[in-house]
Chains A and B, each alone.
Chain A
Amino acid sequence: MDTILKSENIVKKYHNHLALNDVSIRVPTQCIYGLLGPNGAGKTSLIRIINQITAPDAGKIIFNGKEITPADTDKIGYLPEEKGLYKKMRVGELSLYLAQLKGLSKAEAMKRLKNWFEKFEMTSWWNKKVEELSKGMQQKVQFVVTVLHEPPLLILDEPFSGFDPINANLIKEEIFRLKAQGTTIVLSTHNMSSVEELCDQIALINNSKKIMEGAVRDIRKTYRTNVYEIAFSGSAIAFANALWTNFEIITKNDEEGVNKVRVKLLNNKTVNDLLQAIIPAVNVLALNEVVPSMNDIFISKVKETELTLSSNLTE
């Protein structure tokens, strides 16, 4: 897989605190890359460095195989977390202005804006002042302006905040479409369900450090717990008796005559072994692997680092 963006050992200090501590990430081309982390972890600092808004104290950013230069800003689209526009300007003029700042000619910007405004049903907003639009509408304008110059790299910081579900879905579809066309998208978010839905790759940043990086699929595999949920009808006692050794029952509940039990496989036992043990005893209705959600992984990982941090401090 090609790599569009790399950060190499980035360090950023603000005068009495370390915002980024030796952070290296690798963003493969044409993927959706989730940048995760609690508030104040250093995500925005990293994004600003990639956008060349601020410079790192150490380390470098490699974009398309070369160290990033100011000319590359036209190849990046950036939607910051705190979204805002010139309130007194007219939507059309403002969109043209921002598009031209990203290097588009006026005619080209006009043509593309027309398409996007039609697609998003925003044509009637063209001559309105920004302040006349609702917050969600303004964000829609801002999204369009961010992607208008068709940059190979898009950096979206909390792109869904402030949108109603319909528009959030519209944006989601656009993100998928852009990815299909070859765009790489770096997505910074707290919304774990959207990470699971969208991201191919993630990096988890906590306390100025990267604590995890990789493909979502691989990460989840690593965090497999060998726990399965079995739904069955029949005697729960018979079920428990059948799982004598090599299995551990974690939770049990009874829902309208259907038992749901979570079982952990021990001693290299397989699902087949599990089934062989319970089929004689009960009537199996369903069996699923219990996969940890990204949310669980996120929280456990953050807690883990904080524990090591505090234990390091006490030593």
Chain B
Amino acid sequence: MNKIFLIIRREYWERVRKPSFIVMTLLGPILMAAVFVVPVWIAMQDKSKHIVLVVDESGITDFKKMAAYNQIEKYDYVNMSEPEALTQFPKSDYTIMLWIPKNIVSKGQINLYYKKSAGLILEERLRTNVEQLFYQKSLEDNNIDLKKIESFKPRYKLVTQKLDEKTGKAVKTSTQVSTAIGLGGAIIMYMFIFLYGAQVMRGVMEEKTSRIVEVIVSSVKPFQLMMGKIVGVAMVGLTQFVLWIILTAVFVSIAQATVFKGMDNIPVQNNPMQMMHQGANVTQMNNEAAQLQKQMSNLPEIYNDIMNRNYFLIIGTFVFYFLGGYLLYSALFAAIGSAVDSEADTQQFMFPVTIPIILSFVVATSVIEDPEGPLAFWFSIIPFTSPVVMMVRVPFVNPGWELALSMIMLVLGFIFTTWLAARIYRVGILMYGKKVTWRELGKWLFYKR
């Protein structure tokens, strides 16, 4: 009908033109892009440099083989006693002093003194570095070939593939990618339902407390007003979602063209190649290097996986579940907004409504571990939790009867909550100055119009 369209249009335009909407629409993708860009950018920044004095009283092995890190400008090596070193160190330019005692083998301890904190990672690296040098020395002293030991160590990689039950076709998938997509979708879903549901509630309260509602329901049915608001706000949500996708893509590609430009030339921290050139070709470092190389060699696969995902399905299900979940909850939020006189009174009603959303988010984190287990199944069928839980499952599971069942349940779910909400709403919007209880709401359900 024409009048509900007028309501939808007002709800939509009033919100889309708000400065807060425009700011959020621009800020959202910047924040999302920042999630990708900032860690890389931080890694690329020069860290504070350390000059390390290695005081070696043991003389057991050659510490000139200490591995280079781009956080360390240089090492210097001296042989002196600890008290002597401690009097020298404060006056020197050195920022870190590593003291290796004479009886290191029996004592099992190295001392690190610092003027400028090395940070957790560098400290750990220095420790293992010293450890490995001793290990290497022991092997050499006993004429054991390090390379031979290394060659005995098996290294396998796990290739996960999703087998299509019908076609029997295998598709390489990365569980990491599925997890990332699933969790990302679930978080956005959770946020959207909450954000826009609350907007509906506040909108209803605004109409009630400003008393304009009485004028409007003398022109349209309360149900039309409620649905007009819900649909209008849903369209605002979809607009924001679409703009976010577009803008994120734009920002990421801008970032790629600027920030990441020439990234290949930048030395990666803890560059394994560099370490090996330094001659520190010890097991531990080989391990790290190997792992890193493995990951590197995985990158094209992950990239392929990201590119080959069925985004039509993912975005399609997102939109469906956003609409379904939003309609389900926003109807309840509208009912709450209609029943109360002020924001403070919403608390007692908000709590039971938000519990399923929060629960679904908690469940979602364990669904990742077992995306096809009974927990995952049931919570993705129940309409109150399915929008968030299903988003986690979609990247793992084939769309089939489960998805269809879940969708049907969701539709039935929101038809039910909308019916319920409408009955509360039509009474609530005209009820003032009454402290509403749950019992009262129950009675409203059975009022005649």
Label chain B's interface by main secondary structure. Answer: helix
Contact of A78 among B209, B210, B215 (CB under 8 A): B215
Contact of B210 among A48, A74, A87 (CB under 8 A): A87
Interface residues of B in 169-217 (CB under 8 A from A): 206-207, 209-212, 214-217
Complex contacts, A100 vs chain B, CB 8 Å? 6
Rounded to whole Å, the gap between the CB of B5 and the closest CB of chain A is 10
Rounded to whole Å, the gap between the CB of A132 and the closest CB of chain B is 15
Interface residues of A in 43-71 (CB under 8 A from B): 48, 51-55, 57, 70
Asked if B220 lies at the interface with its beta carbon under 8 angstroms from chain A, I say yes
Mark interface residues in B4-41 (1 if CB within 8 Å of A CB, else 0): 00110010001000000000000000000000000000
A98 touches B210 (CB 8 A): no
* Best-buried of A55, A57, A84 by chain B (most CB within 10 Å): A84
Asked if B45 lies at the interface with its beta carbon under 8 angstroms from chain A, I say no
B212 touches A53 (CB 8 A): no
Measured CA separation A101–B3 after assembly (Å):
6
Asked if B449 lies at the interface with its beta carbon under 8 angstroms from chain A, I say yes
Rounded to whole Å, the gap between the CB of A60 and the closest CB of chain B is 14
A85 touches B210 (CB 8 A): yes
Given A73-B219, A100-B6, A101-B3, are A15 and B447 neighbors across the interface (CB < 8 Å)?
Answer: yes
Complex contacts, B74 vs chain A, CB 8 Å? none
Complex contacts, B215 vs chain A, CB 8 Å? 78-80, 98, 142, 145-146
Interface residues of A in 197-235 (CB under 8 A from B): none
B218 touches A54 (CB 8 A): no
Complex contacts, B220 vs chain A, CB 8 Å? 73, 101
A88 touches B14 (CB 8 A): yes
Given A48-B430, A88-B14, A89-B14, are A101 and B216 neighbors across the interface (CB < 8 Å)?
Answer: yes
B430 touches A86 (CB 8 A): no
B211 touches A76 (CB 8 A): no
Rounded to whole Å, the gap between the CB of A126 and the closest CB of chain B is 17
Complex contacts, B211 vs chain A, CB 8 Å? 80, 82-84
Closest to A12 in B: B448
Interface residues of A in 137-194 (CB under 8 A from B): 142, 145-146
Complex contacts, B222 vs chain A, CB 8 Å? 53
Measured CA separation A214–B347 after assembly (Å):
50
Chain A residues within 8 Å of chain B by Cβ, number: 31
Rounded to whole Å, the gap between the CB of A89 and the closest CB of chain B is 7
Contact of B218 among A51, A57, A85, A97 (CB under 8 A): A51
Asked if A102 lies at the interface with its beta carbon under 8 angstroms from chain B, I say yes
A76 touches B447 (CB 8 A): no
Given A70-B221, A98-B215, are A54 and B430 neighbors across the interface (CB < 8 Å)?
Answer: yes
Complex contacts, A102 vs chain B, CB 8 Å? 219
Measured CA separation A145–B215 after assembly (Å):
10
Complex contacts, A85 vs chain B, CB 8 Å? 210, 212
Asked if B166 lies at the interface with its beta carbon under 8 angstroms from chain A, I say no
Complex contacts, B207 vs chain A, CB 8 Å? 86
Asked if B443 lies at the interface with its beta carbon under 8 angstroms from chain A, I say yes
Measured CA separation A13–B93 after assembly (Å):
90
Complex contacts, A101 vs chain B, CB 8 Å? 3, 6-7, 216, 219-220
Complex contacts, A142 vs chain B, CB 8 Å? 215
Closest to B6 in A: A100
Rounded to whole Å, the gap between the CB of A158 and the closest CB of chain B is 13
Rounded to whole Å, the gap between the CB of A19 and the closest CB of chain B is 12
B206 touches A57 (CB 8 A): no
Rounded to whole Å, the gap between the CB of A73 and the closest CB of chain B is 6
* Best-buried of A82, A85, A100, A101 by chain B (most CB within 10 Å): A101
Rounded to whole Å, the gap between the CB of A206 and the closest CB of chain B is 22
Complex contacts, A83 vs chain B, CB 8 Å? 211
Measured CA separation A86–B449 after assembly (Å):
26
Complex contacts, A53 vs chain B, CB 8 Å? 214, 217-218, 222, 430
Complex contacts, A89 vs chain B, CB 8 Å? 14
Given A55-B449, A101-B219, are A86 and B212 neighbors across the interface (CB < 8 Å)?
Answer: yes
Complex contacts, A55 vs chain B, CB 8 Å? 448-449
A84 touches B447 (CB 8 A): no
Measured CA separation A102–B443 after assembly (Å):
32
Complex contacts, A97 vs chain B, CB 8 Å? 6, 10
Complex contacts, B217 vs chain A, CB 8 Å? 51, 53
Measured CA separation A52–B3 after assembly (Å):
16
Mark interface residues in B203-244 (1 if CB within 8 Å of A CB, else 0): 000110111101111111110000000000000000000000
Complex contacts, B221 vs chain A, CB 8 Å? 70
Rounded to whole Å, the gap between the CB of A61 and the closest CB of chain B is 14
Mark interface residues in A277-295 (1 if CB within 8 Å of B CB, else 0): 0000000000000000000
Complex contacts, A73 vs chain B, CB 8 Å? 218-220
User: Which residues of chain B have a CB within 8 Å of any CB of chain A?
Assistant: 3, 6-7, 10, 14, 206-207, 209-212, 214-222, 430, 443, 447-449
Starting from the known contacts A53-B222, A55-B448, A86-B14, 19 additional A-B residue pairs (CB-CB under 8 Å) come to A15-B443, A53-B430, A54-B449, A57-B448, A78-B215, A78-B218, A80-B211, A84-B209, A85-B212, A86-B206, A86-B207, A86-B210, A86-B212, A87-B206, A97-B6, A98-B215, A100-B6, A101-B6, A142-B215
Subset of 6 A-B contacts with CB under 8 Å: A70-B221, A78-B218, A80-B218, A86-B210, A98-B216, A101-B3
Q: Which 8 A-B pairs have the closest CB atoms?
A: A84-B211, A84-B210, A55-B449, A101-B219, A82-B211, A78-B218, A80-B214, A51-B218
